[in-house]
Amino acid sequence: MKKTTIAVSALLAFCVGTTMLATLDHQKEFVAKYPDAKASLGKCSTCHVKPLPKKDGDHELNPYGKDLLAKAVVDPKAEKKTFKFEKIEALDSDGDGVKNIDEIKAGTNPGDPKSK
Ligand SMILES: [Ca+2]
């Protein structure tokens, strides 16, 4: 590992809270489920209101994130949550008239009614 990589890793670990680390895991999970949506939706704002939630308490979920948490958690008792994304594919979480799965396929945000 190069020195710059170590420095960047240390800085990143210092700056990000547990919330963001959890979000990054969930992003990886989302992209594993929907690899074609990586470029357009492999980011925090797919499930969160703010594009880059940094601190605990700054991670408000958008309508898609809320549906995911309420209806698609595999094991609610597990410390590290994983999701069955397909459970909310048929919903229209943001109420814009387009189903979540159709938004994901189109690369629009299923949690933002302005994106459809
Ligand atoms: Ca929608």
48 located within any domain: yes
91 located within any domain: yes
Q: Which domain holds residue 53?
A: 17-106
Of the candidate ranges 12-16, 55-59, 79-83, 93-97, the one whose mean pLDDT is the lowest: 12-16
Q: How far is the CA of 116 from the centre of ligand 1 (A)?
A: 7
Q: How far is the CA of 103 from the centre of ligand 1 (A)?
A: 6
Q: How far is the CA of 104 from the centre of ligand 1 (A)?
A: 9
The pLDDT of residue 62 is above 90 = yes
90 located within any domain: yes
Q: How far is the CA of 40 from the centre of ligand 1 (A)?
A: 15
- The arithmetic mean of pLDDT across residues 34-55, rounded, is 87
Number of domains the chain contains: 1
Q: Is the dihedral of CA 104, 114, 21, 79 positive or negative?
A: negative
Q: Which two tokens stand for residue 50?
A: 């703010």
| Residue 4 pLDDT level (bands cut at 50, 70, 90) | low
11 located within any domain: no
112 located within any domain: no
113 located within any domain: no
